[in-house]
Structure 1
Amino acid sequence: MNMFVRVGGVAHHVVVEGAGPVCVLSAGLGMSWFDWDPVVPLLAPHRTVVRFDRPGHGLSAPAAVPPSATGEGHRIAGLLDALSLPGPVTVVGHSIAGFHAEAFARLHPARAAGLVLVDASVEEDARTPAAPALRTAAARGLGALLSAAGAPAALGPAVRRATVRLSRAAGGDPAPAALVRRCYRTSRVLHGTLLENTHYRAVAAELLALRERAPLPPDVPVTVLAAPDGSARWAGRQHALARRLGARYEAVEPSGHLVMLDRPDAVARAVLHARETPRAMPREG
């Protein structure tokens, strides 16, 4: 079922498939709902699978306000409310969306059945940058300048393709060319990506603060799926994240950053086993 629902006054593109307990899939910076395509057939026989585009991504409308950890956590709850899916749900967050998934579980603990963090962003010592309003204005100004120059139409799909190739172990972008053109030729997606990237540090810092005052529910299992790709430093940071959250750690190899494209089986397995995995005592703070 392909639809649009309004959350916070913004039209969000949502795709709902399958039946059973609910899982929500949220992709990383600049990615779209169709980047989960390889995972969905593995989950839909067992789960109600909800995919959505954040504002300024995929087919969703532009963002009304800059992103924040709290806002993104509430966005997932608002999306579930709009779909009449109260939960509890397993939330899968890839890359920057790992921040959002964790925020949801901390802000709405009764609605969280599990977390799967897919090569999630890690910022151990993030600090909120100064002048957020100026940063937002700069992102919007750059987006307007690039759009006026025709950059999205001329370069958007090619940049998307190149980014996906570099982020995979297998290489290549399996997304249909028509969908890539439909999304990435637009100034909307350029603006959305710039805005999220500009406020990345602020969202990370807000999540660190949220960890101090809103513990994860002890009965909610967490899995950290990491794609070290030969990087001992990245593997170490992902291990540290798993220890901090009391999570199960799994190195997914071979895989690049886009684990859902390289190893959809690992993502699906983590979701299907989420309710069966006891969580260790977290080492937060």
Structure 2
Amino acid sequence: MVRVDGVPLHVVAEGCGPVAVLSAGLAMAWFDWDAVAGLLVARGRTVVRFDRPGHGLSGPATAPVTAVGEARRIAGLLDALRLTGPATVVGHSIAGFHAEAFARLYPERTAALVLVDSSVEEAPRPVLPAALRTAAARALGRAVTAAGLPAALGPAVRRMTVRASRTGGGDPAERDLVRRCYRTARVWRGALLENAGYPDAAAEVLALRATHALAAPATVLAGHDGSGSRGALRWLARQADLADRLGARFEVAEPAGHLVMLDRPDQVARAVRHAADQDRA
């Protein structure tokens, strides 16, 4: 456990060599990167995985997540681990906002940026005020806690969500770890609170693009299930557009669902290594 900005963060740091920081999407945990981390460590990388507040084994979330705040959290985490050299920052889903914000705010600390099926919002327009969304998330968190839903349904919801977000099967995580994390109200509340701040984080990143250049080489790795459905092709087009806007290399992981790191860990690891090699070239 490492304390950053007063919040205890659960961190797993392993290996040696160039640093890669892996940050997972909404309601996911450090162990969802197990296969990717193993491949990177075996190829001479220092891999840092951490749980954001309210996720995994970290302390509870006390405020909605912001892109700038999470960028600063990553910097604080690297400081706490005394990893001062540039790092390849990898963000999955909503954590793509956080990783991009870090790369823009800390160019001297960024070796490369890798976005794994990242969230994309071309023109974020929050429908409700942030304060109202936050209050609703807190109220819903209290309600599901009072009803005992985390203990009763948490692990099952996790397993169903993972299965629906993959092309390669069910949830590979150890059942005791899933129970330890997802039976707690802390994780449910953390996910609700982070989701409440989603449109604001998207707007922050859009604003940063106008004021802070992206200096590091970037890769956008999009998951595709192999189908020709309109929704799947539309998602690929949005990911390709994101790569164009960032001047990033675009790559498709296929077949893969949204949880690309579970369906195609080998391809994610290669994308991280390739991005870091571009920086050193």
TM range (shorter): over 0.9
CA distance in 2, matches of 1:221, 1:69: 20
Correspondent of 1:226 among 222, 225, 247:
222
Structure 2: which 5+ runs fail to align? none
CA distance in 1, matches of 2:249, 2:74: 23
Say if 1:14 and 1:53, in contact at 8 Å, map to a contact too: yes
**1:66 maps to 2:64:** yes
Q: TM-score, normalised by structure 1?
A: 0.94
Alignment of 1:1-285 (within 5 A): 4-45=1-42, 46-217=44-215, 220-229=216-225, 230=227, 231-277=232-278
Q: Which has the higher helix share?
A: 2
Say if 2:87 and 2:111, in contact at 8 Å, map to a contact too: yes
3-state SS of 1:225 partner: strand
% identical equivalent positions: 68
CA offsets, 1:86-108, max 9 Å, x none?
12000110000000000000111
Offset, 1:129? 4.6
Say if 1:43 and 1:268, in contact at 8 Å, map to a contact too: yes
CA distance in 2, matches of 1:32, 1:129: 29
CA distance in 2, matches of 1:71, 1:64: 13
Q: Which amino acid aligns with 1:277?
A: Q
3-state SS of 1:257 partner: coil
3-state SS of 1:277 partner: helix
Please list every run of at least 4 consecutive aligned residues from structure 1 whose deviation after the TM superposition is greater than 4 angstroms. none
Q: TM-score, normalised by structure 2?
A: 0.95
Q: Which amino acid aligns with 2:21?
A: V
CA RMSD of aligned residues (A): 1.2
Offset, 1:198? 1.1
CA distance in 1, matches of 2:213, 2:217: 13
CA distance in 1, matches of 2:224, 2:269: 19
Structure 1: which 5+ runs fail to align? 279-285
